[in-house]
Amino acid sequence: MNRPYNFSAGPAAIPEAVLQQAAAEMLDWQGSGMGVMEMSHRGKEFISIYQRAEADLRTLLAVPANFKILFMQGGGLGENAVVPLNLSRAGTVDVVVTGSWSQKSAKEARRYASTVNIAASNEADGHRSIPEASGWQLSRGASYVHLCSNETIHGVEFQTLPDLQALGSDAPLVIDFSSHVASRPVDWSKVGLAFGGAQKNLGPAGLTLVVVREDLIGHALPICPSAFDYQLVADNDSMYNTPPTWGIYVAGLVFQWLLRQTEGDLTGIAAMEARNIAKARRLYDFIDGSQLYMNPVAPEARSRMNIPFLLRDESRNDAFLAGAKARGLLQLKGHKSVGGMRASLYNAMPMAGVEALVAYLRDFEKEQA
């Protein structure tokens, strides 16, 4: 029996092959006599799991040698505090607001930075676009510039990252890439730090990924908890405190799965990006051609991962969701703050799932005619 298609925005679907391997190794990891959840994080068995996960992720995302990869806890929301605790130096922080998550980032940064400058915002249009970088009001001497490169709730994605130097800023760029990490390449020449919760594209909730340029660590505020001091975490290979061992293990399996993916002559992240472009185009094209459904986001700012859509007659929402569930299409209800529907097309969602959703959208629209 085929599993239903899970369109949840997070915690989200995990590749079935990964779930099968984790299940097979649940009681006994590779003859060790222990499950991964039972292992000491300092034992040779788990150290080997950690080292492979770190190496595979560095390969997968083409992370340069002068960046540290940290496996932490607290989620993306927690990093909204951990980043300013480590990088703000109690100075000025610039934030580009493009939706709910960057709004949260600005609010949290105000606890630790002396000034939080909203360099640009799309609030006036309901978070449906990306503010043109040439118009950003960047601060002189800012500690860093923060943006959420993919807004999970509003379905807005930066198609390219800004070149801050070209905009006259020497500040490092910090990106929250929680909901599109590993779905496309990262231009590390433009990025100082990237962070994201694992529970959307990399594995289970509980693991937080931080990729940070080495010159940016070592400047934590005195009030920063030691377990969240990037320098201490880096110096101890993410083992300063007990890390989320199960999350690292499952994410490591996802990294291996991603490295095995192919699409024509493409492999790894390049293959996933091509696949994700095709999946998103298929769904957007249907929605745009429909009389019942609509997507409010400007076409040039649309997310490949999180696709919100509305029924023009919202009285049909409950019937739509009930019919979707009956067809094995799960978790399509939109976030409560924006309403409507949302389909998250993370890496684990196959094109067959998108085709099943499009078929249901077509059938439901015909029924309502």
Catalytic residue (one of 94, 176, 279, 333): 176
Among candidate residues 303, 294, 284, the one with its CA nearest the CA of residue 101 = 303
Catalytic residue (one of 29, 68, 136, 200): 200
User: Is position 125 annotated as part of the catalytic site?
Assistant: no
- Gap between the Cα atoms of 272 and 259, Å rounded: 10
Catalytic residue (one of 101, 136, 246, 333): 101
- Gap between the Cα atoms of 75 and 79, Å rounded: 6
User: Is position 163 annotated as part of the catalytic site?
Assistant: no
Q: Which residues touch 311 (CB under 8 Å, ≥6 apart)? A: 292, 293, 317, 320, 340, 341
User: Is position 176 annotated as part of the catalytic site?
Assistant: yes
In this structure, the chain runs to a length of: 369
- Residues belonging to the active site: 101, 176, 200
